[in-house]
């Protein structure tokens, strides 16, 4: 998509949600406000940039469809093949929903790419024969002996 065809965040908010007020209402309905009241959260979100609001809405809806923060943590750990690592799962629990969603999408893309790519046979390395190694060592010794004799003849 070229830059000329890309909509600005304001245009996206107006087209997709019908205005900033409606977008903020949708976000307040989806987000878990915690200790903060819904009215305080709404007032705070009205001062946020449109681009951040669109991102926040997409993250909140994707998190809700997965089943919440805890489900998101477990599915991310499973996709990364680290579900049994309790310390890692604990660390994932401290991350934000947006970060977890990004990690999950990257892991899914990698898994899809690995499934699509056929496993290439590994090239076998030619074993080095000990006799070849031994043959190379005297050659080095001879070259050092020659260089030593040349330096001795130059000094004399």
Q: What is the pLDDT of residues 121-156, one digit of tens each?
A: 666 666 666 666 666 665 555 555 556 555 555 555
| Both structure tokens of 79 | 């996709």
Residue-wise pLDDT for 65-79, tens only, equals: 988 889 999 999 999
Q: At 108, list the tokens.
A: 């899914």
Q: What is the chain's alpha carbon radius of gyration, rounded to the nearest angstrom? A: 31
- Band of pLDDT at residue 4, cut at 50, 70 and 90: low
- Residues 26, 17 contacting (CB under 8 angstroms): yes
Instruction: Give me the residue label for tokens 């660390």.
Output: 91
Q: Which residues of 83-105 are buried (b: 16+ CB within 10 A; e: fewer)?
A: eeeeeebeebeebebeebbebbe
Q: List, in order, residues 6 or more apart from 104 with CB less than 8 Å away.
A: 72, 75, 76, 79
DSSP-based three-state secondary structure for 156: coil
pLDDT tens per residue across span 83-95: 898 999 999 999 9
Mean pLDDT taken over the chain: 81
pLDDT of 1 over the 70 cut: no
Asked if the model's pLDDT at residue 114 lies above 80, the reply is yes
Supply the pLDDT for residue 54: 92
Query: Looking at the whole model, is its pTM more than 0.85?
Result: no
Please tell me the least confidently modeled range out of 12-16, 27-31, 79-83. 27-31
pLDDT at residue 26 greater than cutoff 70: yes
Residue matched to tokens 């909509």: 7
Q: Under a CB-based contact definition with an 8 Å cutoff, are residues 89 and 72 in contact?
A: no
């Amino acid at each position: 998509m070229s830059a000329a065809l890309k909509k600005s965040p304001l245009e996206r908010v107006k087209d997709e949600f019908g205005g900033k007020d409606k977008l903020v209402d949708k976000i307040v309905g989806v987000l878990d406000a915690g200790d903060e009241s819904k009215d305080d959260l709404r007032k705070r979100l009205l001062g946020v940039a449109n681009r951040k609001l669109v991102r926040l809405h997409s993250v909140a809806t994707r998190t809700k469809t997965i089943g919440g923060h805890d489900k998101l943590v477990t599915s991310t750990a499973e996709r990364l093949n680290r579900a049994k690592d309790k310390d890692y799962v604990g660390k994932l629990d401290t991350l934000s929903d947006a970060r977890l969603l990004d990690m999950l999408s990257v892991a899914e893309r990698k898994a899809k790419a690995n499934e699509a790519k056929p496993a290439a046979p590994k090239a076998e390395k030619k074993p080095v024969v000990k006799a070849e190694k031994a043959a190379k060592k005297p050659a080095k010794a001879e070259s050092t002996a020659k260089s030593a004799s040349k330096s001795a003849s130059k000094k004399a």
